[in-house]
Structure 1
């Protein structure tokens, strides 16, 4: 039997290569189906890459609004932002031209920002908040794909609004919530009193200094008096009472100074921790940018870059405030730890500026080429990671060295005052303790003189800082509570940013496919292989020709012998299409060898099916092959998830060879899972065996009946 099958196969191959015309036709049949796959894959390679040519009209009718003394026009900000976004063909027109353009097909969509947009956007600060609306119109007649692109444009616009303007509104709202009170306006007088206290402290700082100098002088005088105790005790009591009165009057002022300085030192620590959180968010955004570029999500890239720039600016300004404050303190203190810390902060500030320049370069290159500079992005990610570690070290240095030196100042101030008061009180009881207390008092008054002198020097060191704060507060109006709080507390932008973006999405792709064309390659390649099998049975005869010496050949041998010829042509088709996918149009292939094997097994299976149907049922088999291809396109889940198709297709999907061929190509393109590949191969091979057995059993019984049908059809003049 095998000998007869091989003989038929050799006879067919000899006939093919003996005639040049036949050779040319066979070559064309082996290549032509591949063109179907290659053309379609290339056509859908990057459907969103030229979205900048899709015209979308932007109509801005926003009137803006004044909120808390600040004018906000969200519409203008949106337009300004979109003019730098070249991913969509934005057209900035008036309402009339936009409405005409959407009707006549000039624009695919309209995005209209209404007159009350800013008012509604900021209505959260009013008793009756209103959700703002943006009017979106789309011309559904022009192109279904264009509709999806314009939908993406709409979503991109709303993301920008949330990222940029909800942030601004929230920042304005939460500026009114500070450590002094939860309700700014109900505590307005407390805030004003605090302002007046700081100004009064600044105005009287020279008097306080003179009082401390007086304490020092009087303590030195008391030391001399004690040396002549017998003749000067009454005078010493009088001097002590005078000094004690002065010391008591300054104690409350010094406590106020200490409280303010301690708050400043704590705010530095808080700002450092917040800056560390900012750097962490920048790292997460860079990871998001990296994933967005690998998935060709062009619209998300600009938004992510803008967020990175915004976070860098916030960190830069926060570090600058710390440097400015400590520089003024160090100007009079001249502390080594503080000087080193300032230099470290300046290095961090310079690094932030450098990283922002890199991000700007990445953005410019992306706008020009639609590709992200991976090396520059990786360099930025590495620098930010190093910056995060550097900032962690500096926070540790501040808490263990710098802050201790700063706290020493305020602690010494109050401790010296307490010691002076205690010693002066003790001095008043001098006569009660007697002459044995003279040596103790001598030592105490000497300590009082030293402490008051040191306290006075420390106060002088912070004189400029207190005066600068007071000068800023003097320029504010008591009715402008927001401005007063802005001076008294840190920038509340962190809260505004948290509310506008309450969480970050960490996106991770499993089996990443680099472009849409590669994602569609399994469907188009499988379809091309099936089309190739139909072309074979449409052009070539499925019955073996008679030749000398075939008298003893059975119908089964003729069936298998001719099938071997068709399979040889089909395997050639499968190899050509898989090889071309990888090396001609550069479809992503995680495993090229596997892709070729899948193509060969698919070609074998599809050809066995179509050949068997046509060999047994003639033209009826050709019709069955067409019906099968139509059913499998929609029922295999090749283009859309099978869950979106009608329930009948979900039922038959596991029975269709298309399903397993597409699955096999997906494994080869995105990365193989051994169990899935095994199932795909097993089903296709079992399907081939089933149809071969079907042909062997039905070929002879139906041969005469099908022959009669073909004869009658030929006699009718409408068939062959």
Structure 2
């Protein structure tokens, strides 16, 4: 009897220790695991990762690129992981060994490729990431995101630099367009002045042409007059010879001789004056033509230089704009091309060859005419001198005819000599007048061509002026258009391109730590394990017949004992999480009550199964436990699981207990919370009622012969006793 009491006391002691252990199981399981990984991401800064900077700095267009160094400097203040700045060999050996979990490498040509991208050489720079996935898969995923973050930072830097360079070039194009517009304004002013000058030149050429025609007509009349002079001289010589032969008989004709000599002297004087006038006017015409040709040459040279400058400027603007991916409006493009065609037309006219050279040639062509007129002037002077001598001789003859016949003969001889000189001068005058008439005709033809060229020049300059006006308007419109559109600075654009979208992050149901995120899953898991051990303990106590108390052996009695243990488990678990790990909940009271509810529901479900079929229900409960591990979405979203687990998860309690716990930690959605609450109560009621009914059916069947035979044949009796 004493041994039996001692045995029962020992068993009771063991059960008491077991109860205490079972009460502690959920708390220990959750607290130990969650405390180990409570702030995992907050401690990743202790995980070693190698960083290798092999990049070489590059200087280009007055700017230095050293991206690798910039990244390295930035990572020195980065505590996401434990950065180790080492050589490539050390990093490689460390990743393959045990020193580093991963390594990130910036290659030697990284900055060079970035600098070359501004010239259109788009060879993508690389950030090399190499991680030891086998060492720790979870950290591999984290470190890979760190590498992606570095890539994003560098990408943002590249976008910032590229967009800044592009906008700076756009501003250069804007400045060039403004300069071109100013140049076009000056060009248009110059072409307008040149057009006005060409009109004056055309008018002057027309006047010179008219003057040359008048000169030609005057020379023709002079030639005709010279013929009359030559005939008169011949008559004079004949008369003088007759005078010499019969002076004594021709006294009556001396008066006529004196009169003819006077008229001859007067005509010679007119011829000499006409020759002097022709020489003077022709010399003035040559001087004017030379001055006009030099004036035109200077203006045309200015036009040619302006056209070349504008042509080069237009080509540069179009090339720069196309090189930077820009596109002018259709109107601006047409006006630029029209201006380019105008400048080409002006160059094709070859104004210097077609206008200036004929002007200078015409001016030089006057030289023979001037020489002939000079000789004509000399001949006319000789004629004037001879006629003067003739007149003088006739006068002497008339005054001295009474004195002496000898003197008359002498005077007649002198008169014959003067008439001979007059004849010779007349011949020279005739030849000079013929030459002058011929050259004047050539001058008229040259001036006519020159006048046509001046008209063509004027028309061409009017066209050039129209084109310069269109060019001016087009460039001004282009400048105004780009000035209206270009309202941002390169810094503003680079900042916008590097970060075009701002993330306004609003967190719903915030969770601070990694452990808080896993807590709902491990609390449910811990309380389920606690419920399993409670049911196992009750089954063992029943088999050992620890007590004979009817209430303790009844359905309600055993349920009450298990329920009390389950509640203590939940309270102890909640206390350690709240006071020990400082879990942040929406409401601490809700958190305690929620855990108590879950613990009660889980135990009730297991008690229903255990009451119905006894200890055989333990494997079933464990299988349900395993299914819930994969179908509850406790770690990863349930949408990532296979379809089978997504379906059965809707019919298992973990799904709803985890949902309620997440809301008590992150934020409560009342309707969803109450829905989960109702489903858990349904699970509890269904398992208790169904378990009670099954047990009642089994107890009823025990009284039949069929059950007795079944117990005898398959040994169901022992199983029943355990139940």
TM-score with structure 2 setting the length? 0.51
- 1:86 is displaced (CA, Å) by 3.0
How far did 1:527 drift? Answer: 0.8
- Provide Cα deviations, 1:34-89, integer angstroms capped at 9, x if missing partner: 11111122122111222222221222222333332212121121112212323321
Alpha carbons 1:543, 1:559 under 8 Å: kept: no
Which whole-Å deviations, capped at 9, do the CAs of 1:283-321 have from their partners, x for residues lacking one? Answer: xxxxxxxxxxxxxxxxxxxxxxxxxxxxxxxxxxxxxxx
Ranges in structure 2 where 5+ consecutive residues have no aligned partner: 1-7, 185-486
Cα deviation, residue 680, structure 1: 1.3
Per-residue deviation at 1:126?
2.2
Whole-Å separation in 1 of the counterparts to 2:648 and 2:64: 62
Q: Give, in angstroms, the shift of residue 525 of structure 1.
A: 0.7
Note if contact 2:608-2:689 (Cα within 8 Å) is conserved in structure 1.
no
Deviations 1:261-296 (A, max 9, x none): xxxxxxxxxxxxxxxxxxxxxxxxxxxxxxxxxxxx
Whole-Å separation in 2 of the counterparts to 1:627 and 1:548: 33
Cα offsets for 1:658-702 (capped at 9, x unmatched):
111111111111121111121111111111111111111211444
Would the aligned equivalents of 2:114 and 2:125 in 1 still touch at CA under 8 Å?
yes
**Which residue number corresponds to residue 505 of structure 1?**
503
**What is the match of residue 647 of structure 1?**
643
Change (3 A) 1:153 1:56: same
CA distance in 1, matches of 2:520, 2:122: 51
In the alignment, the residues of structure 1 paired with residue 128 and residue 168 of structure 2 have an alpha-carbon distance, to the nearest angstrom, of 31
Q: 2:674 aligned with 1:678, yes or no? A: yes
Deviations 1:79-131 (A, max 9, x none): 12212323321122222222222211322112111222123334442234233
The one of 159, 178, 181 aligned to 2:173: 181
1:114 counterpart (94, 107, 110): 107
Residue 65 and residue 701 in structure 1: after superposition, are their counterparts in 2 closer, same or farther (change >3 A)? same
Q: Distance in 1 between the 2:556 and 2:712 partners?
A: 23
Once the two structures are superposed, residues 112-151 of structure 1 have per-residue CA deviations (whole angstroms, 9 ceiling, x without a partner) of: 1122212333444223423322111110111122212212
- Offset, 1:599: 1.2
Alpha-carbon distance in 1 for matches of 2:541, 2:11: 20
1:571 to 2:597 alignment: no
Residue 687 of structure 2 corresponds to residue 691 of structure 1? yes
Aligned pair in 2 of structure 1 residues 621, 119: CA closer, same or farther (>3 Å)?
A: same
Structure 1 residues 516 and 714: alpha-carbon distance in aligned structure 2, compared to 1, 3 A threshold:
farther
Q: For 1:192 and 1:108, how far apart are their aligned partners in 2?
A: 64
**Any idea what the Cα deviations from partners look like across 1:210-267, whole Å, max 9, x if unmatched?**
xxxxxxxxxxxxxxxxxxxxxxxxxxxxxxxxxxxxxxxxxxxxxxxxxxxxxxxxxx
Matched, 1:34 2:30: no
Task: Answer whether contact 1:105 1:139 (CA < 8 A) is retained.
Answer: no
The one of 54, 62, 68 aligned to 1:61:
54
Partner of 2:626: 630
- In structure 2, what is the Cα distance between the partners aligned to 1:587 and 1:621? 35
Structure 2 SS opposite 1:58: strand
> For residues 712 and 165 of structure 2, what CA distance do their matches in structure 1 show?
85
**In the alignment, what sits opposite 1:660?**
656
2:582 aligned partner: 586
Task: Tell me by how many angstroms 1:508 deviates.
Answer: 0.5
Note closer, same or farther for the CA distance 1:652–1:22 as it changes in structure 2 (3 Å cut). Answer: closer
- Conservation of the 8 A alpha-carbon contact between 2:612 and 2:692: no
2:98 pairs with one of 96, 102, 105: 105
Give the secondary structure class of the aligned counterpart of 1:541. Answer: helix
Tell me, in whole angstroms, the C-alpha distance in 2 between the residues paired with 1:588 and 1:134. Answer: 39
Which of 579, 597, 613 in structure 2 is aligned with 1:601? 597
2:133 to 126, 134, 140: 140
- In the superposition, relative to structure 1, how do residues 618 and 21 fare at CA in structure 2: closer, same or farther (>3 Å)? closer
Instruction: Tell me the alpha carbon deviations over residues 461-513 of structure 1, each in whole angstroms, 9 at most, x when there is no partner.
Output: xxxxxxxxxxxxxxxxxxxxxxxxxxxx9963111111111121111001111
CA contact (8 A) 2:49 2:100 kept: yes
Paired residue secondary structure (2:630): helix
Q: Could you tell me which of 517, 524, 527 is aligned with 1:526?
A: 524
Q: State the shift of 1:613 in Å.
A: 2.1
Tell me the SS of whatever aligns to 1:91. Answer: strand
Counterpart CA distance in 2 for 1:567 and 1:582 is: 22
Partner of 1:537: 535
Structure 2 partner of 1:96: 89
CA distance in 2, matches of 1:100, 1:91: 13
Tell me if the contact between 2:562 and 2:603 (Cα under 8 Å) persists in the aligned partners: yes
How far the C-alpha of 1:24 sits from its partner, in A, is 4.1
Match of 1:152 in 2: 145
Q: Which residue of 2 aligns with 1:276?
A: none
What does 1:547-566 align with in structure 2 at a 5 Å threshold? 550=550, 558-566=554-562
Residues 524 and 711 of structure 1, relative CA distance in 2, 3 Å threshold: farther
Distance 1:116 1:108 in 2: 25
CA spacing shift, 1:17–1:495, aligned 2, 3 Å: farther
For the 8 Å contact 2:164–2:493, the answer to whether it is kept is: yes
Preserved contact between residue 589 and residue 595 of structure 1 (Cα < 8 Å): yes
CA distance in 2, matches of 1:559, 1:124: 81
Q: Contact 1:123–1:129 at 8 Å: present in 2 too?
A: yes
Residue number in structure 2 paired with 1:494: 492
Contact 2:608/2:692, CA 8 A, preserved across alignment: no
Equivalences, count: 406
In structure 2, what is the Cα distance between the partners aligned to 1:602 and 1:16? 33
Counterpart residue number, 1:86 = 79
Taking the aligned partners of 1:125 and 1:576, their CA distance within structure 2 comes to 66
The correspondence of residues 356-367 of structure 1 with structure 2, limited to 5 A, is: none
| CA distance in structure 1 between the partners assigned to 2:605 and 2:636 by the alignment | 25
Question: How far is the alpha carbon of 1:547 from its aligned partner?
Answer: 6.4
Q: Return the alpha-carbon distance in structure 1 between the equivalents of residues 51 and 717 of structure 2.
A: 65
| Distance in 2 (alpha carbons) for counterparts of 1:600 and 1:49 | 31
Give the secondary-structure state (helix, strand or coil) at the position aligned to 2:130.
strand
Go from structure 1 to structure 2 and tell me whether the alpha carbon gap of 1:187 and 1:618 turns closer, same or farther (over 3 Å shift): same
Alignment partner of 2:64: what SS?
Answer: strand
Query: Any conservation in 1 of the 2:538–2:558 contact (CA below 8 Å)?
Result: no
CA deviations 1:551-588 (Å, max 9, x no partner) are xx9x9x83333222211211111222123222221111
Compute the RMSD of aligned alpha carbons. Answer: 3.8
Q: How many Å separate the matches in 2 of 1:133 and 1:710? A: 77
The 3 A distance-change label for structure 1 pair 23 and 83 is same
1:546–1:499 distance in 2 versus 1, CA, 3 Å = closer
Give me the whole-angstrom Cα distance separating, in 2, the residues matched to 1:37 and 1:640: 18
Displacement of 1:523 in angstroms is 0.7
Whole-angstrom CA distance in 1 between matches of 2:603 and 2:158: 61
Could you tell me whether the CA contact under 8 Å between 2:163 and 2:490 is conserved in 1? no
Which residue of structure 2 lines up, in the alignment, with residue 363 of structure 1? Answer: none
**Partner of residue 353, structure 1:** none
DSSP 3-state at the match of 2:169:
coil
- Aligned-partner Cα distance in 1 for 2:717–2:151: 66
| Structure in which a larger fraction of residues adopt helix | 2
Name the CA distance, whole Å, in 2 between partners of 1:36 and 1:16.
30
1:191–1:63 distance in 2 versus 1, CA, 3 Å? farther
